[in-house]
Copies of this chain bind each other. A is one copy, B any other.
Amino acid sequence: MIDLSGAWRLKQERHRAIYSFQDADAVTAAELTEKAVYGLPELNGDCIAQAQLVANPGCYATSVILALAPLLKSDLIERERGIISDSKSGVSGAGKAATSRTHFVSVADNFSAYAVFNHRHLGEMVEQLGLDDTELTFTPHLLPIPRGILSTVYVQLKRPMKPAEVESCLRDFYADRHWVRIFATPQLPQLQFSLHTNYCDLGFCLAEDGRRLVLVSCVDNLLKGAAGQAVQNMNLMYGWEEREGLQ
């Protein structure tokens, strides 16, 4: 089973609380939470292949985790300085429900931040990245476009690095993965490049001081951020090629 809801994504109780789930059967829920595998193939591919229950990641979480995982796993980020993800999403990310917030006139020619410090996807990010809750500041914004997420991620590196080193770190981490594309600096991905595809596009800019790093991560929230990723997970679970049905 691949579940696109948030029901089984979170292992830690304090993160699960944000969804206010009413578990009819707490024992079963605890068992399933235990069994569920977080369905980000680039991080958990082997577990997904063995899983019976896959929790398909949130769209924002996909864009942020894929940007940060390589540098964090290599312990190159000064976590205590704080990591910031300033993320922007098209309106389909806000759901299908017709509300005053998704009315065309509310969104067009507009732009706004929302759910600062308390968006539901924050828990997924810190759990999957192994961060403390206060180490990641996540600010979602609503873009006046139908689809797509671009996250601009700010980190401080532990030591001065060169652009080529940063690029290598990203490339090595995703060496065998088809659905992440790395851009060589100074090229940056634009949101349009990944729309209507299952790609997560990653690029970066490094300051002259070699410490301040800005990462840019783009996904189509309906594909790599939702249904496309579910297909990718299905491919892994059935032992099929990761690209089946997605090209």
Q: Which of B110, B137, B141, B216 contacts A113 (CB 8 A)?
A: B216
Task: Say whether A108 faces chain B, with CB atoms less than 8 Å apart.
Answer: yes
Cβ distance A162 to chain B, nearest Cβ, rounded Å:
15
A207 within 8 A of B: yes
Contacts of A199 in B (CB 8 A): none
| Most chain B beta carbons < 10 A, residue from A103, A150, A189, A207 | A103
- Assuming the contacts A86-B86, A134-B212, A196-B196, asked whether A112 and B150 have C-beta atoms less than 8 A apart, the reply is yes
- Which residue of B has the minimal Cβ distance to A112? B190
Stretch at the interface among A91-99, A123-131, A223-231: A91-99
Does A102 contact B113, Cβ atoms closer than 8 Å? no
With CB as the reference atom, state the residue of chain B lying closest to A149: B111
Instruction: Indicate if the CB atoms of A209 and B134 lie closer than 8 Å.
Output: yes
B82 contacts A112, C-beta separation under 8 Å? no
The answer on a CB contact under 8 Å between B102 and A103 is yes
Copies in the complex: 4
Q: Give bound CA distance, A154 to B117, whole Å.
A: 12
**Candidates B84, B100, B117; contact of A208 at CB < 8 Å:** B117
Interface residues of A in 125-181 (CB under 8 A from B): 134, 137, 139, 141, 143-148, 150, 152, 154, 156
What's the minimum C-beta distance from A207 to chain B, rounded to whole angstroms? Answer: 5
Interface contact B146-A212, CB-CB below 8 Å: no
Q: Is A13 an interface residue (CB 8 A)?
A: no
- Partner among B98, B113, B188, B191 whose Cβ is within 8 Å of the Cβ of A103: B98
* B214 A117 Cβ-Cβ under 8 A: yes
Chain B residues positioned under 8 Å from A30 (CB to CB) = none
The answer, yes or no, to whether A116 is at the interface (CB within 8 Å) is yes
- A139-B152 in contact (CB<8A): yes
A132 to nearest B CB, angstroms?
A: 11
Check: A72 CB closer than 8 A to any chain B CB.
Answer: no
Q: Which 10 A-B pairs have the closest CB atoms?
A: A116-B205, A86-B86, A112-B190, A91-B104, A110-B192, A98-B98, A111-B191, A104-B107, A104-B104, A105-B146
